[in-house]
Every structure is written in C-alpha cells, then in structure tokens.
Amino acid sequence: MAGAGGIALALALLPAAAFAQDGDAAIGADRDQPGEPVAGPDVTTDAPARDEPEERTGDGEEDDLLTTQLPPLDESEMPAAPTSDDEIAFEADGLSYDSNGETVTATGNVVLRSADRSVRADEVVWNRATGQIVGSGNVRFVDEEGNQLYTQRIELTDEFEAGAMEDLLLALREGGRLAAREGQRGENGTVILTSAAYTACAVTDAEGCPKDPSWRVTADRVVYDPADNRVRFTGAYLEIFGLRLLPLPGLSVRTDGKAVSGFLVPDLRVSESNGVEVSGSYYWRLGQNKDLTLGAHIFTEAPPMVSGQWRHLTDRGAYQITGYATQSSRISDLTGTPISESDPRGYLFANGKFQFGPNWSFTGSLRLASDRTFLRRYDISRDDRLRSMFELERIDDNSYLSIAGWATQTLRIGAPQGQVPVALPVIDYRRQLDAPLGIGGKLELQLNSLNIVRDEGQDTQRAFAGATWDLKRITTLGQVVTLTGMVRGDVYHSDENGLTSTAVYRGNPGWETRGIAVAAVDVEWPFAGEAFGGTQIFTPRVQFAASPPIRNLAVPNEDSRAFDLEDSNLFSLNRFPGYDRVEDGARVTYGFDWELQIPDWRIRTTVGQSYRFDKDPSVFIDGTGLSERVSDVVGRTEVRFRDFVKFTHRFRLDKDNFAVRRNELDATVGSKRTYAEVGYLRLDRDIAAGIEDLQDREEVRVATRVAFARYWSVFGAGVVNLTDRNEDPTLSSDGFDPIRTRLGVAYEDDCLEFGVTWRRDYTDQGDAQRGDTFQVYFALRNLGFR
C-alpha cells in the first residue's frame, strides 16, 4: 500500500556499489528516527480501478499480520548516517565472504542505512554474481516518511529494487496498516501486493490487550504507483465487525497522507417535508491549497437539489464558498401561504479572513437565502435571521481602527424586510496613551460613526468623539481604587422617524447634538482567609458615578434597546448596551464578590444593587430593574467540581416583593461520554407589549448522553417553550409547547463512528412542515468518509 510502495522506491535509491567488497562495515553512533507523526491520510473512492477481479478467495492469513503487535523501534539498531546518499552505512555482529559462491553474508542484528532510510534483518546475503540481495528474519524497513515495513523475507536486486516479499506488514506513519501475503515489483516500477487487508484501527486496547479492528478493507490486488504516491485497491470490500458490507470500486490511498479526489459515503435521511433523502458528494482535490466538493440530493417528496463547496488557502488568508440550489414550490414570505408555481430556490454562504501585514486584516461573511423557509425545509439551518458583514481592521500596540458594514436578512414569517436596518459604514477608531499633565493612568481617545438605512423605515446617521481616563491604585490598606472620567460629544441626523413603531426609540427628526460627561470612583476591598479546608476571598465593592442631565430621548435609539439589569453590567460606567443611551444623574452601586476554593471545588458568588439619587423613568423602562431610585437585586453563582459539575445561576429579584424577575440556570453533570445538561430561563419583567425587544420569555432545554458497553451511547435533547399568553399576549402558547426533541443511539471507537437519530419538530413554518426526521450517519477514520 502507501508505505509498501514508498519502501520499494526507497530501496531502489540505494546503489549496490555502496557495499564494500572487502567486507568493511561503517559503524556510527547516530540513530535513525522515524520522525513525528502526522495527520491520517484521506482515502476516497474515485474512478474504478483497472482489471476488476472476481471476489477474493484468500485464506485470510493476512488477518493475523494485520493485528500483529509491533515492537518499538530500537535506536541501538540504527547505524550512523552515510556521508552521501550513494553510500550505505551498515553494521552486523558477523560478516563473511564466500569467494567460491561470490556471496557476502552479514549476520546478527544487521542494520543498513542510507540517507533517511534504514533496514534491519537477522541476515543479509548479497550474491555478487547474480546481483540478488536477500534479507531474512525479522526484517524491518523504515523509510524517510516514517513508514515501517515488517516481513520475514525480502528479495532485492543489486540496485536495491524490491523483487519479492512474503507475509509483509506495513505500519504507516499516518496511522493505518496494511498486511499482504505476497508482494513484488512490476516492470514499470509499481509495487503489486496480493491478498491484502488495510485498516486504520488500533489492534490493542487501552490496557495493551489485543483486539480485532472495527473495520478493515480487503482486496485481491493492491498496486502502488511511485509516480503519484498513490495506492490503488482492486476487488476491495469494506468489512465491519467481520461482516462484508460494501464493495469499494476504485478505492485509493495517498502514501503521503494528502487528500485525494473521490466519492464520499452517502447520507440517508427521512423527513416530513421531503420524504426519503439520499445525498452524495464528490470531493475534488485541485491542489495542496484548494478543493471543491460537489453534492447531489435526491428526495421522494421534493425535486432534487445540488450543492457545492469551494475552499481556498492563499498566502494572505483563507476563504470558502458554499451553495445550494433547487427549483420547487415555496410559501409567501409575508403570509406563509403556499405558492403553487415552482421557483428557483437556494442558499449562499461565504466567509474568509485575510492578513495583509502585521497590522491590517480583513474579515468577511455573506449569507443569503432565496426565501424564508428554504433553510428549514432542507434542514440546513434553523436560524431566523442571516447576517452578512465585512470588517477591515488595523491593530497596533496603541491604536485600533475598524471599518465595517452589516446587513441582515430576516427569515421570520410576516416580518417586513424593509424595516430591517443596513449599517454601512460603521467606523471606530481608538488610541490609547499615557495621561498628560502627570496625573497618571491611561487616556483613550475614540472616534466613531454609524450610518443606518432602511428601505421602509427610519434612517439614522451618528458620529461622536470622546475620551476616557482610567487610573487604578492600591492603597496601603489593600483597597483597589479606580477613578474613571469620560467626556463625549455626539451628532445625530435622522428622518422618517414616524415609521419606527416604538416611540421611545425614534428621537427627534433632523439634526440633534448632545454632550456627555461621566465621572466615577470604584472601590474594592478584598479579604482573604482560610475556610472549609481551602481559601476564601470576600470582596465588598462600592461605586459612585455621576453625570449631568443627558438629552437621551432627543436622539434615536438604534443600539441600546435590549437592556436589562444583570450582574454583568451592574458596575458598568454605562449600563445600556451600545452608545445611543447613556445613564445620567448620580448613583451609588454596592455589592460583593465571594469566592471559595478548596481541593477540586470552586464557588463564586456576586450580589449587588444600586441607588439613584434622582428618578428618571423616561430613560429606564418599567420592568428593566432600574426605573426607580432603588434598583432590583441581581446576582450570579457559579459552582464547579473538577470537570464533573458545572453550575451557573443568575437572578434578578424585585426590590419591593422579592419576586423573581430573571431566573436563569445552566447546569452540566457528568463526563465527556456520560452527562446531563439542563438550561432554564424565565424573564418576568412585565414590560409593556409595545417594547418588542424586552418581552417576557420562559423556556427549558435538556440534553443527556449515557454511555454503555464501552463504545455505545444513547442520547437525547429537547427544547420546550413555557411562555404563556400572560407573559406574551402575542403568543398562542398554552405554557407548555415542545419546540424540538431529539433521540439517538451511537457507536464510537478509535476509528469507527455510526448512529441513528430521530428528531421531531412541533411547529410548521411555511413549507418546513412539523413532523419526524430520521438520519443515519457513518464515519471511518483515515478513509475520508466524513
């Protein structure tokens, strides 16, 4: 196979003239090293091989060779490297010359080396009259790629070309192994093996005990062509757990581990929307840095579909383009009703990143769908919006520049695309330098501009210039004191403001300006000590921030809408996301962090609250936790036990009655193979129905996997919507609506993976119908099958 051909080629490069006729041996201290392992070879099926034979009828002797446990390389066997590629260094326990028979015989731990190749045998006999060289007894050959050949007898010509081999085993550096009963060299330089078997599976378990490989490929004939470094199988069959399942006409393997062109194993899926789906792909290797995968999808309940993926690695970066195309009936984007005529439908996804030097880089992504249900109908994605973007960045030690653009395609039925904004360009520049006038700390200057346009909605342009100063000091008592100051000047322009349905987001049409100034002092005082056999750290924290009145409602709100008080923004200088809204007035925020670390355990807790010295409900919407003088109480608790338990709980308690306004739980228990995950979120903010970004929600997510019988596992997952009409009047949910469930069984060992999954969707979305979906998947290591 790959290595066998490589070995034969290597031997052909060793001239027989390098043998000293007087029997002298070159002895050295350097040892042969096979080198570091590399990634496993890709193996695919391509055009049928020549001379397809009948079914193999061998006696299976290669099976024992395939599972042979190989001894480790012994560095003491390796002689010093020769002084040139035309010389062979060798050593042996004994060396004799028969003048009558004109034979040179080396016996006892014979080791030969030329360049990066080496041969070891119990005995090597060179017949000077015929030119034949025979190595016998525990023969091991290591080529320049690190592949190792094991056999009992090998015949070589006086030019070191392989003539015949018997009962050979080849262990590839890439991880596979090939066994054959016989091997010989063809007249055109190819190496031909008969009655061969190949596998990439381990033949010993974790305890070092022998085990049968999960899969193997058997073949009547294997041909290695050194011209293209490829091994081709004739009469190949795939066997799994000893059962012959699938013929593999045209199977080929690269000897250097590189990918090759060929067909991939088909996928099988059954769904309510499309019936039975059979999809297959052809992988086309166009070069070391680019490839193309072409796919075809056949359905019993839908017209066929084609797909393709192009990938390219350049000297500046990498990019890929993926596309799907078909022609079928669809539904109306706005009403969700079926359309009888057949239309072209498809999806395009492209992304890439390029580095133009030590400072400049470019990142881009494009996602477009022909209609709103194509991705769900063909089970490509469940996203409800597609974002496309580009960003040109320059980064050095003290400055940052970003020039970006964003566009979004909505996939929600009934949502008008014309109301979705396009942000182009978005420019942000920042520069950091030491604060002037000797006051210490760091000063960051910022320039930012934004242009948002809508086909059928409000357009907004914004620009600002600002500066932020930070100074952090530690007092003699151990308090960490941080002083912060920020000033900013904004300019806005907007039109068609009345097309924004939520009044508090509109701002005044035309030109508007505003000035912003914020100052804050933040004090943390950590106390550390022993507790429960470990170390605990208790850190009280208090922050005072103040700002003069800010004309928030005079300018549009484009990037500060989805606001909610939580632990992550409790001590932020501006607790709104984005730049369009800035908290004004004076406030004091207080809370504490507590951390306990004991062997194998770590517990962290954060709790805090804030008090405003003035009340300004026009900025903070009722229900966000900050609309009154005293805020709600927020917190987070994290618990970890080794890598077995991970628990995170976040909450917000109403300051008046301690009602839970936010309750979020994420927990994982178990190992990588057997685990259970639970996620729960409930937002009970009771915000007015017109604020679409802040509606109440409640859902639970569960997932579990249970491993059994060493390599088998069962798994399941589900998402349930618990939101009722009291929480969101726009929904028709009764408070327990399953969204999606999934169950499956899988097998996975070191080289084989397969399984069956069942998924049920409970909601219709246009022509993406609710119902059951079944999928069978299959993957083999080193055989290119996913």
- CA atoms of 433 and 448, how far apart (whole Å): 18
Contact in structure between 123 and 107 (CB atoms under 8 Å): yes
Q: What is the pLDDT of residue 167?
A: 83
Asked whether the predicted pLDDT for residue 367 surpasses 90, the reply is yes
Mean pLDDT of 365-394: 93
Residue 17 has pLDDT above 60, yes or no: no
Question: pLDDT tens digit string along 676-708?
Answer: 999 999 988 777 666 656 678 889 999 999 999
What 3-state class would DSSP assign to 696? coil
Least confident of 143-157, 317-331, 593-607, 654-668: 143-157
Helix (H, G, I), strand (E, B) or coil at 264: coil
Q: HSE on the CB side for 541, CA within 13 Å? A: 22
Cα–Cα distance measured from residue 141 to residue 78, given in angstroms and rounded to the nearest whole number: 11
H or E element in which residue 680 lies: strand 675-683
| 37 pLDDT above the threshold of 60 | no
HSE (CB half, 13 Å, CA atoms) of 237?
Answer: 16
pTM recorded for the entire structure: 0.77
d(CA 177, CA 157): 26
Whether the CB-CB separation of 721 and 733 falls below 8 Å is answered with: yes
Instruction: For residue 282, give Cα distances in angstroms to 119, 299, 308, 621.
Output: 40, 18, 9, 56
Residues 246, 121: Cα–Cα separation, whole Å:
39
Mean pLDDT of 423-435: 94
Q: What residues contact 136, with CB distance under 8 A and at least 6 apart?
A: 121, 122, 123, 124, 125, 152, 153, 154
Residue 48 has pLDDT above 60, yes or no: no
The residue type found at 271 is S
* 634 contacts: CB under 8 Å, gap ≥ 6: 565, 566, 567, 570, 607, 608, 609, 625, 650, 651, 652, 653, 662
Measured distance between the N- and C-terminal CA atoms of the chain, rounded to whole angstroms: 22
Please state, in angstroms and rounded to a whole number, the distance separating the CA atoms of residues 112 and 90. Answer: 4
> What band does 203 get if pLDDT is binned at 50, 70 and 90?
confident
pLDDT in tens, 266-293: 888 998 888 999 998 999 989 889 999 9
Q: Higher confidence at residue 480 or residue 76?
A: 480
Asked if residues 155 and 165 have their Cβ atoms less than 8 Å apart, the reply is yes
Instruction: Please tell me the predicted confidence (pLDDT) of residue 749.
Output: 87
Q: What's the rounded mean pLDDT across residues 212-239?
A: 83
- pLDDT at position 52 is 37
Mean pLDDT computed over every residue of the chain: 82
Query: Coil, helix or strand for 503?
Result: helix
By the 8 A CB rule, do 143 and 6 touch? yes
Q: What is the DSSP letter of 663?
A: E
Cα gap 128→131, rounded to integer Å: 5
Q: Supply the pLDDT for residue 553.
A: 92
Find, among 296, 298, 295, the residue nearest to 274 by Cα. Answer: 298
Higher pLDDT, 502 or 458: 458
Provide the pLDDT for residue 158. Answer: 55
| pLDDT > 70: percent of the chain | 81
